[in-house]
Structure 1
Amino acid sequence: MAAVASIGTAAVPAGKLPASARAWALYEGVRTPYVLLIKVYIFIPYLATILVGDPVRGQSLVAKLGMSYGLLAALTAPLLGVAMDRIGPRKPLLATLTAVLVACCASLWWATPDGLGLAATCAIIFVAGLMFAYTEVLHNSLLPFAAPSAQTSVTSGTGLALGSAISVLLLIFILWGFALPAKMAASWLPAAPLFGLSAAAHEPERIVGPIVALIFACGALPLFIIGRDAPRGIGGGIGDSFRQLKATIRTLPSNRPMGIFLLSRMTYTDGLTAILLYTGIYAAGVMGWGPLELTALAIIVSCFLAIGGLVGARLDRAFGPRRAIQIELAIVIVGQVLLIGLAPDRFLYAPFVAAPLWDGPMFTTLPEMAFVAIACFNAIGTCGCYASSRSMLTSLATPATVGSWFGLYALSGTVTIWLGSALVGAVTAIWSSQQAGFAALVALLIAGCLGMAFVNDPARR
């Protein structure tokens, strides 16, 4: 007889994800293109370099923007998590917030100097960032209900791998349909960018907003149709939610593993996210890459993000989540130190005369090829760490309080998004150097990695 794993009162064959878990993973998958296409590689670099007009000032502005919505999310997400524990079902509110996020993404098509303008575009990015943080709390807190406890790590890793795979397909389509036709002619390419888009008007960069919105809206539906929701809670108002949040926080001194884990994650996870967020801006400003190179970089890195999600699940099973997180952080720390030492005229911190190594449309010099390779190396560690971190929390929490813990988990993830962004913005402005701004985040990763040494691995359930 096949082994079984329970999910509520149901039983499913071990090794096979139930439909609810697959729907949870698909929602994670269609959320990821927002991060990779809008926040990292295509739209935000367009905002920083074209709408702002200067990559250094643009990086500083994006850092302040991330600090603003990150700080607001940090102050409110824990209360949202506790309120959901008391209410119970997450899907109605999650559907509403998802709809707002989809609308924000679609509206980016009009983000031009003569259209929405810089101020309105920044306001939309602010709302989208806040909605993304809230949907992350609600979606993450559904994981113990959507998947059997023995399969939460696999479900989490599958969602991240799906997100990378979907992003790769979208990026390939954008490269084939919009970026390459504007730069070169070939029999396998359209004669001009699809839909008559104008590269001069930066329409290929702006079209990613509606594309992400369409994919997100369609891919989210299965979770709301067949996904398992949390059972009804005990109810109560805002005052009750505040009291439960205070009670949860007061348990931290007696729950040492959870307290140290959340503090460590507060230090490292959105250090990772800040690195991911500024990679596109960094590559555009330091390496001088345009939409073609950034789209190609995104495709290549996304493939390795998919690998990272699966690697994280394997490391988790082999070594436990604590050791897996430490290994994954070490990968990113080493890669980031190497990445900062690259520029068109510099290789691993040494001056370098970069002659083309091959006759190609992009990535022809040794520093450029090394940048791509190291970014892929970082991607494996980053995505693996995301998967292992969620697995760590579900192993430490109980189903009755998982929403509260994921609220604090979001707090520990958003504190460093504004702190990391503030560091990047301040150091970039002071030194007038994008490399200096990037270097400030390495310290956060090192501190978080050291903190994980004091967390005991939970028993695998």
Structure 2
Amino acid sequence: MNQEGTTVQTSEAADARGPAGMAGLPSGERLNRGGLSWALFQGGRDPFIILVTIYIFMPYVASTLVGDPVRGQEVISRWDQYIGWTVMLTAPFLGASIDKLGPRKGWLALTVGLMVPAIAALWFARPGGPLPLTAVLLLGFFARVLYVYSEVLHNSLLVRAAGLAGAHRASGLALSLANLFSVVALAFTAWAFALPGKVDWAFVPDAPLFGLDPDAHEPERVVTLMAAALMLLGAIPLFLFTPDAPPTGVPVLRAFREGAGELWRMVRTVGRFKDAAVYLVSRMFFVDGMNGVLIYAGVFAVGVMKWGPLEMLAYGILLSVFAVLGGYVARWLDGALGPKTALKIEIAAAMLGLLAVLGMAPDRILFFWPHDAAAHGPMWDGPVFRTLPDWFYVGAGFVCAVFITAQYASSRTLLTRLAPPEQTGAFFGVYALSGVATAWLAPTLVSLGTALTRTQQGGLATLLVLLAAGLAGLFFVRGGGRIVR
């Protein structure tokens, strides 16, 4: 389960409107090696979010390096504010300037070249190790911001790589590969490092591979090396085979200056269409709430449910698989009810899922149902999820995963119904901007809620405010209903 790409980019479509822009672009619907390489890059890049940000490494930082999950959630969300502010102030201008900069692969190589060692250096984040906590968080900040820049640059090469006819295939393949590689990486980590010594299964090694020491938290830290290696390997085919944009002759500073003007013109264009404008403002709130649920899911589960690395690996695998259903749910709801009603249902369902998560604890189910694990005994003899609260928590996570994924799909569909066909470029530019304009808001609320209540539940509950605000805004949007054939 990945975060939706929420960076601002002006795609090659603008460059490809006329015959000159189309020259040299792939013309068939079947992907060539340039398109396949473009998709492979995302497959290698996105496991960083799954392995490092959501499920394994940052929960380890919160629980072990900070030493207190509540304080850890507060610290991590405060640094996420810094990431959000930086992205908000820089990524839109990079996206709006991208077509004027000309070739992108050099910029992308610089971004990847800085990201890979930053991620790999997190391996040294251990108690009493050479990296103090501030250095660990600074490396994470650096890598996350660069990740967003890599999204902008990578997405801008889509039409160049696959052509207009094959763009949707390359995009779908990239998302599929990202999910596949993430699940495989989680499964490998569980098999090679977390399960050995804990189960007597014939296919599991007797001890963690490569001599990793669980007492030194090396199974949790090794995911940083895996994420760095996958990113590097996934980037190589793109640099070898994916076509780059031609030079424009525009100096860098001028490109950014003109890009800022283009960004302002896009915002003004959308502002003339009330329903689309109201929708995009609403989306700023609910998409930030959705992203917050994803980002803090791991930290919350480690602190509240007392799960260890093995449980988090299993949880990540299950949710990544079930999130795929979200695309099918969105397609069915969009067709049956229209994307606006579908989006309302998806946000409301995600709120219910989040509410259920908040009501869980090892000794409590859904706020009011006490559970005595000693009196009931384990539900099965497996290595993870042995109690009823564990399974209720997993079920609430499934609800969130499915409907958050569905929301990302329905959001795009709704904009296509509200935007004038001749101005979709400007509208999708502002659509992407709306995903980063408030990227700091969810971390700010989570940090504030955690600090004020001194509980992780109090921090995560603030995300309900963002989801509710976004849902309320949709009731003021006209259009986006079901198409009657």
Normalised by the size of structure 1, how large is the TM-score?
0.87
Equivalent in 226, 231, 234 of residue 216 of structure 1: 231
Which of 12, 16, 20 is residue 28 of structure 2 equivalent to?
A: 12
Q: More deviation in 324-333 or 175-184?
A: 324-333
Pairing partner for 1:268 from 280, 286, 289:
286
Cα distance in structure 1, aligned partners of 2:287 and 2:62: 24
Q: CA RMSD in A?
A: 3.2
Contact conserved, 2:158 with 2:167, CA < 8 A, in 1?
yes
Give 1:448 deviation, angstroms.
Answer: 2.0
Which residue does the alignment assign to 1:206?
Answer: 221
TM-fit CA distance, 1:103:
1.9
Q: Give the match for residue 192 of structure 1.
A: 207
Instruction: Tell me, yes or no, if structure 1 residue 428 matches structure 2 residue 450.
Output: yes
Alignment match, 2:174: 159
Shift of 1:126: 0.7
1:358 is paired with a residue whose SS is: coil
Cα 1:390–1:226, aligned 2, differ >3 Å: closer, same or farther?
Answer: farther
* Cα drift, residue 73 of structure 1: 0.7
Residue 271 of structure 2 aligns to a residue whose secondary structure is coil
Q: Which letter does structure 1 place at the counterpart of 2:130? A: G
Distance 1:172 1:194 in 2: 14
CA contact 2:339–2:482 (8 Å) conserved in 1: no
TM-score of the pair, normalised by structure 2: 0.83
Amino acid corresponding to residue 257 of structure 2 in structure 1: G
What are the Cα deviations for residues 212-250 of structure 1, in whole angstroms up to 9, with x where unaligned? 111111123333333355565583513323322222222
Tell me: CA distance 1:149–1:261, structure 2 relative to 1, closer, same or farther (3 Å). farther
Q: Partner of 2:325: helix, strand, or coil?
A: helix
Distance (whole Å) between structure 1 residues aligned to residue 26 and residue 443 of structure 2: 44
Alignment partners' CA distance in 2, 1:94 and 1:283:
35
Distance across 2 between alignment mates of 1:52 and 1:285: 12
Q: Alignment partner for residue 46 of structure 1, among 43, 51, 60?
A: 60
Q: 1:449 aligns with which of 459, 464, 471?
A: 471
Look up the equivalent residue of 2:181 and give its one-letter code: I
The C-alpha deviation readout for 1:170-194, integer Å capped at 9, x for no partner, is: 1111001001114334322112111
> Displacement, 1:398?
8.6
Alignment of 1:109 with 2:129, yes or no, is no
Write the distance in 2 (CA, Å) between the matches of 1:165 and 1:225. Answer: 23
8 Å CA contact retained: 1:329, 1:445: yes
Q: Return 5+ residue gaps in structure 2 as ranges.
A: 1-18
CA deviations on 1:117-138 (whole Å, 9 max, x unpaired) are: 2111011001011111222223
Quote the offset at 1:423 in angstroms: 0.5
Aligned sequence identity (%): 41
Select which of 178, 182, 187 maps to 1:172: 187
Question: Alignment partner for residue 289 of structure 1, among 284, 288, 307?
Answer: 307
Q: Does structure 2 retain, via aligned residues, the 8 Å contact 1:24–1:143? A: yes
Give the direction of change, closer, same or farther, for the CA distance of 1:286–1:386 in structure 2 (3 Å limit): same
Alpha-carbon distance in structure 1 between the residues aligned to 2:119 and 2:416: 30
Q: What is the number of equivalent residue pairs in this alignment?
A: 452
Q: Does 1:82 align with 2:96?
A: yes
Aligned to 2:406: 384
Structure 1 distance, partners of 2:273, 2:172, is 26
Letter in 1 for 2:55: Y
Is the counterpart of residue 368 in structure 1 residue 393 in structure 2?
no
Partner of 1:123: 138
Judge which range, 348-357 or 383-392, deviates more: 383-392
Post-superposition offset of 1:263: 1.8
Q: Say if 1:157 and 1:309, in contact at 8 Å, map to a contact too.
A: no
Question: Which residue of structure 2 aligns with residue 31 of structure 1?
Answer: 45
Gap runs ≥5 in structure 1: 1-5
Q: CA deviation at 1:264?
A: 2.4
Could you tell which deviates more after superposition, 21-30 or 158-167? 21-30
Which digits, 9 at most, give the CA deviation of each residue in 1:19-71, with x for residues without a partner? 55444433333222111110011000111111101000000000001010111
Partner of 1:3: none
